[in-house]
Amino acid sequence: MSLHVRTAVAAGLLAVCGLALATPRPLVAAKSRIDFSVKEMGVTVSGQFRKFEATIDLDPARPEASKAEVIVDIASLTTGDADTDAIAVDKPWLDKLGFPKATFRSTAVKSPAPNRYEVSGVLTIRGKARPIVVPLTTAAQADGGLLATGGFSVRRSDFGIGGGEWNEGDLVADDVPVTFSLTLGPAAR
Amino acid sequence: MATAPRTQYTAPAQLGHWLVVLLIVAAYAVAWTMVDLKLSPTKLRLFNYHKWIGVTVFALAALRLAWRLGHRPPPLPAGMAAWERQVAEIAHRLLYLLMFAVPLSGWLMSSAKGFQTVYLGVLPIPDALGKNAALGQALTEVHEALTWLLLALVALHAAAALKHHFVDRDDVLRRMLPQWRRRS
């Protein structure tokens, strides 16, 4: 089957269920999380963002039409340690006052295999935008919802996170692994 | 073949004792400096050094205990009263207990606070507890209480050793000091 025919078939399917695709699945905040970990002197300190919004419109039939946008509330960062939290959102690090939100906006989505996506997009932290590719795996849930999981690594130096004395002598690792597990409700009809 | 009873601690026992003395002094010095610091790279470093020292003390305490089981300490001076012997026995047992309990409580408090102990920055020691702020605070208080108890016991231990040496004029302190062989 040629690409043209496939595209035509996909377009036909799209026309049939076009309305459903127009409304992305709602995020189930209580069953979603975004975690990260920072390594200092070999010690992994993990934390999470408690508040974020995500608008994810995955279209298995036409993956390239999929869209994803995630907006993270920087002030909602927590590691479980108040002193660490205060430093993490302070000016040299994530600077919650100067840049209260970190965002990810997709620019192109590919699906190399069923339930797998490669979401290219722009990650903006501390006002600095960097291109990034986020791998994402989906799993259908019993209630008709969708669980989207994946992870990527943020290089602190790309975004100027944690400058000055904190960057001396490799005390804190540059790479900050981020993982996410987002539960999306059943598609609206 | 009968041998005369020891009058000295063995060299490994002495080495273990004095190493632990040095490490405990270092651990207290680092601890008192680090706790009042605002979170900074220096504070992070000091916390890690403190934890590495604690792990080392724990390991040395285990080695010392194993060595002690195979190499009994020299007998106490004959002139000591029964209550003095009892107090000495209890104090030494408590010192050993605290050489384990203080690092253990520190490790547990670190685990509960979400900071794993990674020995020398390369050897991760598994966390026994999950992250739990309230438990972390409670364990911090336990760790502090135990360190004060250890400090009090060390003071008693040192005072007793000096009393033996300068007042009783017996060999209790010298048993823990290297015997430099006199060449004459």
Q: Does any domain span residue A113? A: yes
Q: Does any domain span residue A16? A: no
Per residue in A87-137, pLDDT (tens digit) is 999 999 999 999 999 999 999 999 999 999 999 999 999 999 999 999 999
Per-residue pLDDT at A182 exceeds 80:
yes
Whether A42 sits inside 8 A of B131 (CB atoms) is no
Contact by Cβ (8 Å): B57, B27: yes
In sequence order, the β-bridge partners of residue A135 are A118
CB nearest A80 (choices: B41, B44, B133): B133
Whether A81 sits inside 8 A of B122 (CB atoms) is no
Chain B touched by A84 (CB under 8 Å): yes
Chain B touched by A79 (CB under 8 Å): yes
CATH number, domain containing residue B93: 1.20.950.20
Per-residue pLDDT at A16 exceeds 50:
no
Whether B114 sits inside 8 A of A81 (CB atoms) is yes
- pLDDT, average across residues A149-160: 96
CATH number, domain containing residue A126: 2.40.128.110
Round to whole Å and give the CA distance between A22 and A55. Answer: 12
According to the model, what pLDDT value does residue A15 have? 46
Name the domain count of chain A: 1
How deeply is B87 buried, as exposed, middle or buried, from its count of CB atoms within 10 A (0-12, 13-18, 19+)?
middle
Q: Which structure tokens are listed for A45?
A: 């300190």
Q: Does any domain span residue A14? A: no
ipTM above 0.95, yes or no: no
Chain B touched by A45 (CB under 8 Å): yes
According to the model, what pLDDT value does residue A169 have? 74
- Residue B61 structural domain: 11-176
Nearest one of B10, B18, B15, B6 to B161, comparing CA atoms: B18
Name the domain count of chain B: 1
Using DSSP bridges, classify how beta strands A77-78 and A101-113 pair: parallel, antiparallel or unpaired. unpaired
Kindly report the pTM of this predicted structure. Answer: 0.83
Q: Does any domain span residue A165? A: yes
φ, ψ for residue A131 (rounded to 5)? -70, 150
- Please enumerate residues of B whose Cβ is less than 8 A from a Cβ of A: 39-41, 44-45, 48, 113-118, 121-122, 124, 131-133, 136
Per residue in B138-183, pLDDT (tens digit) is 999 999 999 999 999 999 999 999 999 999 999 999 999 998 655 5
Q: Which residue has the higher pLDDT, A60 or B87?
A: B87
Nearest one of B6, B11, B9, B56 to B30, comparing CA atoms: B56
Contact by Cβ (8 Å): B52, B119: yes
